[in-house]
Amino acid sequence: MLLLRGTAVGLTVTQIGPPDRPRLRVQLLQPVPLSGAEPLAEAFLDHLLGLRVDLSAFYALAAREPALASLAQRFRGLKPPRFPTVFEALVNAIACQQITLTLGIRLLNRLAERYGYAAPDGGAIGLPDPGRLAQVGPDALRDLGFSRQKALALVGLAQAAVDGRVDLDGLAALDDAAVVARLRELRGIGRWTAEYTLLRGLGRLHVFPGDDVGARRNLRRWLALTSDLDYAGVQQVLTAWQPYAGLIYFHLLLDRLAAAASGDPRSEPSAEPG
């Protein structure tokens, strides 16, 4: 399901063609209760799945860098995903602070089921928008399993977006430092959450959230380093592969998820700071 102009539209997306010439077949489910749904769905999927992001320069760089080549080749064809809105990127980040990714997703699913948009089949799709979430009391979010601090941060974010104290759409016009500074003025948002939003909400592929403990560990393992990395160390080792540090973040995440699927106990994402 996609939410297009407030209307739930069902669709299926299937990859067809070989890996070196992949194509997507997108079929809207009938009936489609929205005029012009096809171009809207196409634009939405382009944004959500990074379909038109040109990765040829990334693969050219990987071909010259042995450490990167095997990782890039293993997941060749990966496109950088983005959340539908900056607001949703922030909600996802806040939910996953200080807990495992698995538990964070459970919290987000509960939030969507309780307060998300109603789908035609009676279920829920997506997260609530700022107007909806701003009306939810923090105690109601605590009933879903959110900590007190996260509940206050989520409601505060929604209220700030609704009353104009923060222009989330306008963040795209700011440089990285300005976006981070603006977001950190909000309750419950630290450097990790802000940088995660730069990558997942604004599509800035040069950003590797350096406070991500799990990503640091996987970066160290991938590079066979003998000592832990701090924030500055992460930025230093990734300098040679800029402006694609964010793509490496995605590749390492996939590598971690693949390890989890194979039963590797070291693959469980660690708690992230705010």
Comparing 125 with 73, the larger pLDDT belongs to 73
In this predicted model, what pLDDT tens digit does every residue of 258-267 receive, in sequence order?
A: 887 777 655 5
Copy the structure tokens of residue 246: 């964010």
Backbone angles phi, psi at 2, to 5 degrees: -120, 150
SS3 19: coil
- pLDDT > 90 in the chain, percent: 61
HSE-CB at 31 with a 13 A cutoff on CA atoms is 3
Domains by residue range for the chain, with CATH: 1-52 (no CATH), 86-200 (1.10.340.30)
Considering just the CA atoms, what is the radius of gyration of the chain in Å? 19
In this predicted model, what pLDDT tens digit does every residue of 178-210 receive, in sequence order?
A: 999 999 999 999 999 999 999 999 999 999 999
* DSSP code of residue 11: E
User: What's 21-44 look like in SS3?
Assistant: CCEEEEEECCCCCCCCHHHHHHHH
pLDDT at 148 over 90: yes
The whole model's pTM is what?
0.89
C-alpha to C-alpha distance for 264 and 225, rounded to whole angstroms: 20
